[in-house]
Amino acid sequence: MILRDGVKSVEIKVSSETRKLSDFVKDKNKTLIDRLESFEDIINIEVGDTSLSRVKTIEREFDIRQLYIKYEGDNPTGTQKDRIAFAQVYDALRRDFDTIALATCGNYGVAVALAANLAGIQCKIFIPASYHTERIKEMEALQAEIIRLDGSYEDVVKSSTLVASKNDWYDANPGGANTPLQITAYSQIANEIVDDLGDAPKYCAAPVSNGTLFAGIYRGFVTLHKRGKTSRIPKMIAASSTRKNPIISSFKLGLSECVDLDPKMIKETLYNEPLINWHSFDGDEALYALRESGGEAFHISDKKLKDMASFILKKEGMKILPASTAGLIGLLELDDQLNFEPDRFVAVITAKH
């Protein structure tokens, strides 16, 4: 079985200033406070502040006004995962861990490997034995150790968490004690959207897998609204591969908690793999965001993912991972149903191709 996360393996580059700061962070003769400040500078230079662009060609094609794409492919390893990777490596550095561990199918591993490499922390990456991703070369180039374990991704998450606990390594897996930190890191996406627009959009759409990103974006908008920084909280739109994600399926069944799917029913493809799982580690948080915001959820077919990525490349010149377009497709399908009044709408695109 060959699974791919779809993001092409390319040389990861950071600025010369970041390299100098990294040398300082790695120098244990410096005080921890100074090292942490330098790593904060690295985060500020490299991570976040991704582009928010109005896509007028898509507006014209689908008859919708003021549609924006928040493009997380601008992050150093090409996905939104850099946000939580750097936040957790900062936390590991602050708490004096010398090793960080996690399970991954690709993108998250590269993100943590880069952050750990810049911080001078060892990185142990657990990958299911049956999984193959082009990004392993990048992880190894960043001096991460690859450890293969039998079982599904969900099985390997549990196993790697146990190994991390036994060896006193920092556990960077989803769904554990670090969930609040991960959600806070992703909440910055909402902050950046509001900074650019001046207020929250009417709707905000994003693809879902484990649900952490979706929950984090919603939490960011809620916090801003409570602080009086926005006039409203957007209605959140979640989308994932058809009948292969517990968050979408549970919402459509009207459930208050996220219920696991039958693992035997999950079939991965070249296009849906970043979206699918039988257990979403932060599914309850994402389901809460959907319900509380008055949002909607959509099943998206592989064909629609592929076609939308091709359309965006042709019309906007952006090379986008097909799975990343799920939220955008859901937003456009809801507009087709409801015929939105003119307003502002944002779709978060999570990865470049």
CATH of the domain at 25: 3.40.50.1100
Range of the domain at 147: 16-44+81-171
What's the confidence (pLDDT) of residue 7? Answer: 53
Does residue 155 lie within any of the structural domains? yes
Helix, strand or coil for residue 94?
A: helix
What's the confidence (pLDDT) of residue 9? Answer: 47
What's the confidence (pLDDT) of residue 116? Answer: 98
Q: Which of 312, 7, 345 is nearest to 193 (CA)?
A: 345
Does residue 311 lie within any of the structural domains? yes
End-to-end CA distance of the chain: 21
Cα separation, 346 vs 297, whole angstroms? 15
Q: Are residues 35 and 183 in the same domain?
A: no
Running DSSP on this structure, what letter comes out for residue 139?
A: H
Lateral strand order in the sheet of 170-171: 145-149, 122-128, 99-103, 170-171
Cα separation, 9 vs 21, whole angstroms? 25
Q: What angle do CA 348, 350, 353 make, to 5 degrees?
A: 130
H or E element, residue 171: strand 170-171
Report the predicted TM-score, pTM, of the whole model to 2 decimal places: 0.94
Instruction: Fill in the amino acid letter for 264.
Output: K
Beta strands 203-207 and 235-241 are: parallel
What's the confidence (pLDDT) of residue 238? Answer: 98
What's the confidence (pLDDT) of residue 3? Answer: 37
Q: Are residues 60 and 163 in the same domain?
A: no
What's the confidence (pLDDT) of residue 135? Answer: 85
Q: Are residues 248 and 212 in the same domain?
A: yes
Q: Are residues 113 and 214 in the same domain?
A: no
Among the three residues 153, 171, 189, which one is the final residue of a domain in this structure?
171
> Per the structure, how many domains does the chain have?
2
Q: Are residues 193 and 286 in the same domain?
A: yes
Q: Are residues 204 and 343 in the same domain?
A: yes
Q: Are 108 and 81 in contact (CB under 8 A)?
A: yes
Does residue 7 lie within any of the structural domains? no
Among the three residues 171, 205, 231, which one is the final residue of a domain in this structure?
171
H or E element, residue 147: strand 145-149
Q: Are residues 183 and 158 in the same domain?
A: no
Q: pLDDT 10s per residue in the chain (353 long)?
A: 333 455 554 568 899 999 999 999 999 999 999 999 999 999 999 999 999 999 999 999 999 999 999 999 999 999 999 999 999 999 999 999 999 999 987 889 999 999 999 999 999 999 988 887 778 899 999 999 999 999 888 899 999 999 999 999 999 998 878 899 999 999 999 999 999 999 999 999 999 999 999 999 999 999 999 999 999 999 999 999 999 999 999 999 999 999 999 998 888 888 888 898 899 999 999 999 999 999 999 999 999 999 999 999 999 999 999 999 999 999 999 999 999 999 999 999 999 88
Q: Are residues 243 and 280 in the same domain?
A: yes
Cα separation, 148 vs 334, whole angstroms? 42
Q: Which of 338, 278, 300 is nearest to 206 (CA)?
A: 300
Cα separation, 236 vs 193, whole angstroms? 14
Q: Are residues 74 and 208 in the same domain?
A: yes
For 131, 167, 249, the CA distances from 272, given in Å and listed in that order, are: 15, 34, 16
Does residue 6 lie within any of the structural domains? no
For 78, 82, 152, the CA distances from 10, given in Å and listed in that order, are: 10, 15, 26
Does residue 258 lie within any of the structural domains? yes
Does residue 237 lie within any of the structural domains? yes
Tokens of residue 328, six digits: 């955008």
Q: Are residues 20 and 73 in the same domain?
A: no
What's the confidence (pLDDT) of residue 1? Answer: 31
Q: Are residues 88 and 110 in the same domain?
A: yes
Among the three residues 171, 193, 226, which one is the final residue of a domain in this structure?
171
Burial class (CB in 10 A: 0-12, 13-18, 19+), 99: middle
Does residue 98 lie within any of the structural domains? yes
Partners of 298 in beta bridges: 239
Q: Which of 218, 187, 181 is nearest to 87 (CA)?
A: 181
Does residue 136 lie within any of the structural domains? yes
Tokens of residue 297, six digits: 């959820």
What's the confidence (pLDDT) of residue 156? Answer: 92
Q: Are residues 150 and 213 in the same domain?
A: no
